[in-house]
Structure 1
Amino acid sequence: MYWIRQIEVKAGGKVFESIGDNALDIEFEIPFSDKNEPDVSTISIYNLSEDSINSIEKQGNVSVSAGYRDMHNVAEVLSGQIESIKTEWKGLDKVTTITISDGAKAWRKTELNKTYQNNTKASAIMNDLCSTLGYPVSELKPKKDITYPLGKTIKGSASKSLIQLAKDTESKMFINKGRIVIRPEEVGYNSGILLNGESGLLDTPTLNENNTGDQVDSAEGGKENPPQKSWTVKCLLNPQIETDMIINIESRSINGAFRVKSGKHSKDFVTELEVVEA
């Protein structure tokens, strides 16, 4: 059966677990998306000792693994840096809430002031910006790797410059578990994952509002194409599912291959997804 839920949090040089002799109550809300800003997650651990709380230092690193033990699918769902820590009493329980991001402090504050020579490609500048921000690159394949014949000057916020370059090259850019991905909007990667009633699919996928596929009026009074249709999909917590993964879905409402645009792993051990046709 699927019902033994396992959570493991590594923080402050210690390991906190939801099962075993020293089991703790642990809750989490872990979003992921293809938006060009670091995702922010929260972890709540109940009734930690003062020694454990003191060991979890601000700006330290945290990783979280979760899954159903008997499905042998326990895997990392979050790896990031501590943004803040707060401990408060709720009734008889002492709750420590940790806010975690994919390196958002460096994302907000890092600057780069540099002039690139004639005929520099956008990808070379992007790679430089990623390095300056301190992010490893998972993939850097812009849709249109444009060349700047007169060179280019980067000045100020490194993250804002990277976002602008992604826009200039008609690419999406997002951060996944501390690594930057830059690729064409429609591109994802095959996972081999099948979601249906037997593999953890919950409820019937639903079409999101304002995603009917009909043309809409533009500000100029003409017609323009709407955003790509998307569906909300819920399944038993699956730590393998992440941004831009292509999964196969079998249900009463949709069938076929779909790309994950965003989602979240939640404390009720459900993974909720927004998917589009792949």
Structure 2
Amino acid sequence: MATPTNLQYDRRYSLTIGDYSTGNGLLITSEDTDHPLQITFEVNKTSDTKHKAGNSTTIEIYNLTPVQAKLLESQYISFEFRVGYNNEDGLSLIAQGNVTEATTVKRGTDTITQIKVGEGYVALDHTRISQNLSPGQTVEDVIRVIVAAMPGISRGPIVGTNLSSPIVHGWRLSGTAKEELDKITKAYNLEYSISNNTLIMTDLNQPTSKTVLNVPVISSETGMIDKPFRITEQIRLGKKDKRTRPGIQVKTLLNPAFTVSSVVKIESDDINGYFRINSLRYNGEFRGQPWHSELRCSEMTDADITIT
């Protein structure tokens, strides 16, 4: 979706909740009728969900039928949210997980159902692992066992200098998948995030790939809104590395090509260079406010990336 701003028009969306193919779910799209349901949405993702609740989405759906609203009461029902524009091919997935909360209220003449979604919620918080790994196996072996035990979660980019480190005294897995991911990533200075049911893992504040070939470009021509600006948050680089790096925040038209821990190139009058996405927020509504992406990033140095 990194198209010029004048080509991004006629918004489209698709919500799949539950197993629609078997009749135990909903498929709500902007093309259902001549008057598609109004929705608002906010999707929040971060590169490091260690000791945090995880990536989340909040969506408000206007004027569901009572039967549709009742279905959302099913415990931890699955959820997918895709968006796109009529001038582009297909819809892109920007959030996937499990509904953790659903409430319906009356606001004027509208009935509004708000759902809250945790990405990978069931796999992270309701999967328990009990296994011993023997001495000599590696950090990556531990992570492989955890991922294998998480239903519906696939392995994405998993990179880091400590992944090949041997577990000298073995490793005991005895807890939820989230507890075990928190423990191993804290011990070996790693970050992890589950986005669209895919596990992403890197060294602290490092990108998923050092190559910057074909990374998304953020500029006024590709949907940047206003100018990027510096932020004062400190960037953690581990216990033995106390450096700080400049941070920036930038706003664009919604672009699903953005992924936490990946690199983007920013081109503006004041700020130019390559930056790693530390957190990402998508928000908007079908009728009304535009669809936006808001990124908080850290600057990449020559040691972090390879420019060819």
TM-score > 0.5, shorter chain as reference = yes
Instruction: Quote the sequence identity (%).
Output: 20
Q: Distance in 2 between matches of 1:117 and 1:171?
A: 21
Q: 1:31 and 2:54 equivalent?
A: no
Aligned equivalent of 2:199: 180
Q: Compute the RMSD of aligned alpha carbons.
A: 2.2
Q: Which runs of 5 or more residues in structure 2 are unaligned?
A: 1-5, 21-25, 236-240, 301-308
Q: TM-score by structure 2 length?
A: 0.79
Aligned to 1:274: 296
Structure 1 unaligned blocks of 5 or more: 214-223
Structure 2 partner of 1:49: 65
Equivalent in the alignment of 1:99? 116
Question: In structure 1, what is the Cα distance between the partners aligned to 2:273 and 2:160?
Answer: 27
Aligned residue identity for 1:141: V
Question: 2:12 aligns to what?
Answer: 6
Q: Structure 2 vs 1, CA of residues 24 and 231 (structure 1 numbering), >3 Å: closer, same or farther?
A: same
The one of 16, 24, 29 equivalent to 2:28 is 16
Q: How many residues align?
A: 267
CA distance in 1 between partners of 2:193 and 2:91 (Å): 24
**Is the alpha carbon distance of 1:72 and 1:256 closer, same or farther for their aligned partners in structure 2, counting shifts above 3 Å?**
farther
Counterpart Cα distance in 1 of 2:176 and 2:79? 26
Q: Do the aligned partners of residues 210 and 157 (structure 1) sit closer, same or farther apart at CA in structure 2, a change above 3 Å counting?
A: closer
1:239-258 alignment, distance < 5 Å:
239-258=256-275
More strand by share: 1
Residues 76, 23 of structure 1: CA spacing in aligned structure 2 closer, same or farther, 3 A cutoff? same
How far does the alpha carbon of each residue in 1:45-93 deviate from its partner, in whole angstroms, 9 at most, with x for none?
Answer: 1011122223343322111111332355741111111112111111111
Distance in 2, matches of 1:107 and 1:74, equals 27
Q: Whole-Å Cα distance in 1 between the matches of residues 280 and 160 of structure 2?
A: 24
Q: Report the AA paired with residue 26 of structure 1.
A: I
Asked whether the 8 Å contact 2:232–2:246 carries over to 1, the reply is no
Name the residue aligned to 2:304.
Answer: none
> Hey, what's the Cα distance between the residues in 2 that align with 1:275 and 1:263?
9
Q: 1:210/1:54 Cα in 2 relative to 1: closer, same or farther (>3 Å)?
A: closer
Structure 2 residue matching 1:155: 3-state secondary structure: strand
Contact 2:202 2:261 in 1 (8 A): no
Aligned to 2:223: 200
Most deviating of 133-142 and 92-101? 133-142
1:163-242 mapped onto 2 (5 Å cutoff): 163-185=182-204, 186-189=206-209, 190=212, 191-210=214-233, 225=242, 227-242=244-259
**TM-score w.r.t. structure 1 length?**
0.87
